[in-house]
């Protein structure tokens, strides 16, 4: 199978998967409307076309508040990625540092986000910084784990050859170790990006003045009158997470073209 036909088949499956989800949504909503009153059914799962209509109707408000959530999540994600990358590099250089920091890194993730968010918000008393901190908190752990694994995956014979040629530690990292770590780094980023958005929304649920989480809480307060707004914020949150994932996937394809899944199979050209 050529790479072009593989891509076409992959895209076809994506389209089929999306259409299946949409049909399933509409089907379940239709069944609920048969079994319940329209208000009760809409509060549990409204029709998808009603949610899309709400997205258009409240597009201005959703765009404004979504930009706040995404902006803080992006800053925290960038900070957490940088922190995780630096720590992974340091831990790969010194084994004693890895053994010292690993228990603290692992134990830091034992606190659930829903429990840590109100503590952080109560200490900082600033919604913007609390969202950034929580986004960085959920980001740095997968970055460390996957980047460190990538650094350790470098071929020993390549490193030995570079040592025999007198290559410095910096050169070994630039020429061999860092390229080997990129697939792991991107794997961690793809995991962390949607989590960063979710953690920012969790902070907003704690009483922040703006953001998608505030829209969710306020729409729940008004009940069935704002059910469209509530589900619109849910769909927008999912969309932000998916877009973040896709952007990172595209960057991975561009920066790591040597990975097997990005190369043409069977000797055919892309």
Indicate whether 233 belongs to any domain.
Answer: yes
Give burial (CB, 10 Å; 0-12/13-18/19+) of 179: middle
Do the domain assignments include residue 171?
yes
User: What's the confidence (pLDDT) of residue 269?
Assistant: 45
CA dihedral 78, 259, 91, 95 (to 10 degrees): 170
In a domain, 219, yes or no: yes
Looking at residue 5, its pLDDT comes to 55
Domain region containing 97: 46-262
Q: Is residue 200 part of a domain?
A: yes
Structural domain contains residue 15:
no
Q: What's the pTM? A: 0.84
Does a structural domain hold residue 23? no
Calculated CA dihedral for residues 6, 12, 18, 20, nearest 10 degrees: -120
pLDDT tens for residues 45-66? 888 888 888 899 999 999 999 9
Give yes or no for residue 67 having a pLDDT over 50: yes
Residue 12 domain-assigned? Answer: no
pLDDT at 235 over 80: yes
Here the CATH number for the domain that contains residue 155 is 1.10.3720.10
Q: How far apart are CA 143 and CA 184, in angstroms?
A: 8
What is the total count of domains within the chain?
A: 1
């Amino acid at each position: 199978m050529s790479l072009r036909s593989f891509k076409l088949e992959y895209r076809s499956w994506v389209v089929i998967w999306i259409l299946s989800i949409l049909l399933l949504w509409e089907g379940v909503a239709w069944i609920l409307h048969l079994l319940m009153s329209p208000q009760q059914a809409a509060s549990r799962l409204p029709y998808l076309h009603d949610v899309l209509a709400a997205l258009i109707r409240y597009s201005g408000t959703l765009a404004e508040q979504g930009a706040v959530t995404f902006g803080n999540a992006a800053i925290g994600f960038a900070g957490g990625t940088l922190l995780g990358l630096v720590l992974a590099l340091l831990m790969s250089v010194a084994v004693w540092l890895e053994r010292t920091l690993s228990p603290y890194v692992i134990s830091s993730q034992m606190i659930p986000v829903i429990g840590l968010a109100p503590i952080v918000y109560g200490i900082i008393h600033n919604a913007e910084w609390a969202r950034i901190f929580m986004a960085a908190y959920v980001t740095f752990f997968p970055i460390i784990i996957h980047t460190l694994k990538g650094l350790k995956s470098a071929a020993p014979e390549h490193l030995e050859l570079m040592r025999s040629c007198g290559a410095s530690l910096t050169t070994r990292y630039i020429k061999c170790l860092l390229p080997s770590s990129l697939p792991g780094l991107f794997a961690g980023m793809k995991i962390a990006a949607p989590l960063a958005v979710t953690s920012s929304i969790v902070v907003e649920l704690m009483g922040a003045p703006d953001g998608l989480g505030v829209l969710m809480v306020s729409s729940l307060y008004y009940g069935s009158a704002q059910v469209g707004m509530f589900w619109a914020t849910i769909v927008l949150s999912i969309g932000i997470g998916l877009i973040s994932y896709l952007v990172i996937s595209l960057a991975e394809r561009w920066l790591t073209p040597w990975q097997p899944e990005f190369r043409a199979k069977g000797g055919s050209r892309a």
